[in-house]
Chain A
Amino acid sequence: MQDTFIYEAKGQTLIIHMPKELDHHNCRDLRYETDLLMSECYITRIIFDFTKTDFMDSSGVGILLNRYKQMRLGGGRADYYGAGAQVTRVLKTAGIPALMSRYESKEEALYG
């Protein structure tokens, strides 16, 4: 059984709704899918939505870091919202809060 990612484009912003369990297995399609979307749309900002995510490991961090680097190369940014307790601890351990901004909700992430 494979969780799927749901993508939502708002102007030049791409919102990626992350699955319930975010590990190596469930991450496999994300790279391909975002590359495809980014080749077709002009994206300057990625926002990760962790609202539904109960579990994330370092494979999830790898995905985030690579999308972050990709955005930075083009002068864009990557942020996230909806992180629960487990996701928050993992992001902190990986040093993500120094790179990406944390928001509580989609509205806050989109409109500050």
Chain B
Amino acid sequence: MNRKEKMKITMDGLSQNEEFARVVTAVFASRLNPTVEELEDVKLAVSEAVTNAIIHGYPDGAGEVEVCAEAEITEAGERILTVTVHDTGIGIPDVEQAMEPAFTTAPKGERSGLGFLFMKAFMDHVAVDSKVGEGTTVTMTKQIGRQDK
């Protein structure tokens, strides 16, 4: 039996919503019965993606950030969490470059450039779809309950 549940939140791209987004997503993800560590991974990845959307997607002020999550239990009993973070900001001209460790365009020198590295390290799969002037969508998946991860 394949079961799927989903949620979607749209919020202002304000920094105080970074915590809100990761906590809501973690509460949603908890229905897949993850370990504490898996929940922390999800929170971290969501925090990175939402922070990117707020800082880099909307450098000149706030737009909206949308966070969608899907919890799926497949016929084989696998528990899969998919999280999508979407903004309609300025987009990323070179996604490959943006995903390089320590690469950052932030001018103030206080950013580590590790956001995408963290998403990739703590989720199973990360895909970035971006168009300059239209926005960016980051899709991340994680299988819950896998011993080796």
Verify if B66 is at the interface (C-beta below 8 Å from A): no
Q: Mark B100-113, 1 if CB is under 8 A from A, else 0.
A: 00000000011111
Chain A residues within an 8 Å CB radius of B44: 55, 57, 86, 90
Q: Mark A36-79, 1 if CB is under 8 A from B, else 0.
A: 00000000000000000001011101110110000000000000
Verify if B65 is at the interface (C-beta below 8 Å from A): no
Q: A93, B51: Cβ atoms under 8 Å?
A: no
Minimum CB–CB distance for A5 against chain B, Å? 14
Minimum CB–CB distance for A71 against chain B, Å? 15
Pick from B43, B110, B118 the residue with the most CB of A within 10 Å: B110
Pick from B22, B44, B55 the residue with the most CB of A within 10 Å: B44
How far is it, in angstroms, between the C-alpha of A87 and the C-alpha of B43 when the chains are bound?
Answer: 13
Verify if B117 is at the interface (C-beta below 8 Å from A): yes
Q: A90, B118: Cβ atoms under 8 Å?
A: yes
